[in-house]
Chain A
Amino acid sequence: MMTAASLAQSPASSSLLEVEGVGKRFGGFIALDGINLSVAPGERVGLIGPNGSGKSTLVNCICGTLHNETGTVRFDGHSLNKLESHERTYRGIARSFQLPRPFVTMSVADNLRVPLLYAVHTRRGRHLTIEEADARCIELANSVGLGAKINKSPKDLTQIEMRKLELARAMAADPKLLIADESMAGLSDSEVGEIVEMLIKLNESGITIIMIEHIMRAVMTFSQRLVVLVSGKKIADGKPDDVIRNPEVERAYLGQ
């Protein structure tokens, strides 16, 4: 329910994603403690924090994999609280997973076809024709450099190709907001550069991106804004250069 106060706090026109006082517990452990975060359309936001700080839980609450116990997640002016994960995908939120989760019994093309058949189909209210879907699969695969592997099984892909498939599959859902959950873990320096470049290009095509990452070089290159979570609380939010000089952030990362 929207009260007058919450309406006043969240002018739906200016922000795409509005996280208001979101809280989540796992038993006695408080994973998220009243997080507020607002993301404007077209923004590139970096989300960092030590292990266990609640980054993935926040992403899961935004995407609907988990449901927040308190607070509201609002997207495009509508509350997502009661929506299942797939319904949020229809609305325009897509994500990649921290550990790649391809559909292993399907080819790369068919992995990309799933969001076309479900998310895009539901949004448009009609089937894409086989030719349209094929063309889109090829386009998506080419955009991440997987064109040559389109009929391969995900089991035949390398680590970075798996990450690229993960991103391409998220993009297949035609999202307004893309959440890239540690898309670069375990990659080499040059590979990290490649993925960052890819994400920036996507952003320039109009997609809002939240990137969760431990690799600071990638975070600093990518982010226009940096948000820091520590123990389920947001401790900093602002320009990346200012945020990393913030004494509280330094303490969280380097100790006292």
Chain B
Amino acid sequence: MKSPVFFLVWIVVAAIVFAFGLYLKNDYFFFAGYTVLQYVVLATGWNILGGYTGYVNFGSAAFFAMGAYASVVMHKVAPLPVPLLIIIGGIVSGLVGLGMGYLTLRLRGAFFAIATLALAVVLQTLIVNWDFVGGSRGAYIIRPNTLDIAGLQIPYIEYLFALMLILAVCALTVARIVERSRLGFGFATIRDDEVAAEACGVPTLRLKLMATTLSGALMGMAGAPFPYYIGYLQPSSAFGLEYAVNSIAMPMIGGTTSWVGPLIGAIVLGTLQQVATVTISSAVNLLIVGLLLTGFVIIAPNGILGLIHKFRGQSDADKVGRRVIRETP
């Protein structure tokens, strides 16, 4: 399927989801659905660096928070429509990603992961001490209850939900394009063996920077509308542990080698968490994630996708979805 077709198909799917929400006439659907979609974007963004190039980023919350705080700053300086804030959030977090890439160029494996964790702590400390955005007290974003679009009064949560739907479709399309392109091929060589990749002519440093930037930008975009969703943003919620953990757990549980994995992981885990919040307690969320992640790492290290491939009896080479030469040489 060509990318524009893919995009249109998913926009149609998104429209159906939205229509279903309207049919339900239940605000909670939009409220919970927004969170799930936010995780789809976050997990997809994380996976571009973590899944495709194999650099595990523990600092996702920082990218998410940078997107959210960019919106807070803009709200105070010059209020803009949320779609523009998403773009600004993407640029800010993309730059943070680029900076992180430069700072951690020579780090691999656990050392890279620790550095990203440190970056999150540093950024959180900066935000906590920055009075303009409310410091540790947090910042209130007063948003209207409804939004006037072409004379129609649309509930704001529906508007945010629709934006997140479109953003999720964009993120999935980008991830799929990257995965199937020459760039994605290069990312996969970095994941497998960086020295060998260089010897094959892959400019690994440049590719890594592209991955950190793109991944950061998508995670920032996921965070940009968040202040408008939550109404009150404080550092401890924007830099929350659940973002860091979920954005790793969702692709890992879904499968990291393809754009489908984070989507599956985010929908399964995100929905499960929303259901658990309502039926059991909100505190049980991370417990669920932890248990599932542990289970998957032990039983199905390649995630749900890996299980599907195994069930179908596909080989390792097929699993990455690369080009298979059909004619017998």
Q: Does A associate with B in a complex?
A: yes
Whether A105 lies near B191 (C-beta < 8 A) is: yes
The distance in angstroms between the C-alpha atoms of A105 and B188, with both chains bound, is 8
A187 CB to closest chain B CB (Å) equals: 20
Whether A114 lies near B316 (C-beta < 8 A) is: no
B109 CB to closest chain A CB (Å) equals: 16
Whether B188 lies near A101 (C-beta < 8 A) is: no
The closest CB in chain A to the CB of B316 belongs to A153
Whether A106 lies near B192 (C-beta < 8 A) is: yes
Q: Which residues of B contact A147 (CB under 8 A)?
A: 329
Whether B202 lies near A150 (C-beta < 8 A) is: no
Check A65/B325 contact, CB under 8 A, given A105-B188, A106-B320, A121-B182.
no
Whether A102 lies near B257 (C-beta < 8 A) is: no
Whether A104 lies near B192 (C-beta < 8 A) is: yes
The closest CB in chain B to the CB of A141 belongs to B329
The distance in angstroms between the C-alpha atoms of A220 and B322, with both chains bound, is 41
Q: Provide the B168-211 mask, 1 if CB < 8 A to any CB of A, else 0.
A: 00000000000000100110110111011111111111000000
The closest CB in chain A to the CB of B317 belongs to A107
The distance in angstroms between the C-alpha atoms of A64 and B203, with both chains bound, is 12
Instruction: Tell me, yes or no, whether B153 is within 8 Å of chain A by CB.
Output: no
Whether B200 lies near A137 (C-beta < 8 A) is: no
- 10 more A-B contacts (CB under 8 A) besides A103-B188, A107-B317? A86-B200, A89-B199, A108-B317, A110-B317, A114-B201, A118-B186, A138-B325, A138-B329, A147-B329, A153-B315
Interface residues of A in 68-125 (CB under 8 A from B): 84-87, 89-90, 94-95, 97, 101-110, 113-115, 117-122
B187 CB to closest chain A CB (Å) equals: 11
Closest 10 interchain pairs by CB? A119-B201, A107-B317, A85-B198, A118-B201, A103-B192, A153-B316, A101-B196, A89-B201, A147-B329, A138-B329
Instruction: Tell me, yes or no, whether B309 is within 8 Å of chain A by CB.
Output: no
A67 CB to closest chain B CB (Å) equals: 13
Most chain A beta carbons < 10 A, residue from B182, B192, B200, B319: B200
The closest CB in chain A to the CB of B198 belongs to A85
Ordered by A's residue number, 16 sampled pairs between the chains whose C-beta atoms are within 8 Å are A63-B199, A85-B198, A86-B204, A95-B199, A102-B192, A103-B196, A104-B192, A106-B189, A114-B189, A114-B202, A115-B200, A117-B182, A117-B186, A118-B182, A118-B203, A138-B327
B287 CB to closest chain A CB (Å) equals: 32
Q: How many residues of A contact B (CB 8 A)?
A: 50
Q: Which residues of A contact B318 (CB under 8 A)?
A: 107
A59 CB to closest chain B CB (Å) equals: 11
Whether A103 lies near B199 (C-beta < 8 A) is: no
Checking A65, A105, A117 against B199 with a beta-carbon cut-off of 8 angstroms, the contacting residue is A65
Instruction: Tell me, yes or no, whether A31 is within 8 Å of chain B by CB.
Output: no
Check A113/B329 contact, CB under 8 A, given A102-B196, A169-B200.
no
Instruction: Tell me, yes or no, whether A142 is within 8 Å of chain B by CB.
Output: yes
The distance in angstroms between the C-alpha atoms of A39 and B233, with both chains bound, is 66
Check A150/B325 contact, CB under 8 A, given A103-B188, A103-B193, A105-B192.
yes
Q: Provide the B113-136 mask, 1 if CB < 8 A to any CB of A, else 0.
A: 000000000000000000000000
Instruction: Tell me, yes or no, whether B324 is within 8 Å of chain A by CB.
Output: yes
Q: Which residues of A contact B106 (CB under 8 A)?
A: none
Interface residues of B in 259-292 (CB under 8 A from A): none
Whether A151 lies near B191 (C-beta < 8 A) is: no
The distance in angstroms between the C-alpha atoms of A104 and B189, with both chains bound, is 9
Interface residues of B in 192-236 (CB under 8 A from A): 192-193, 195-205
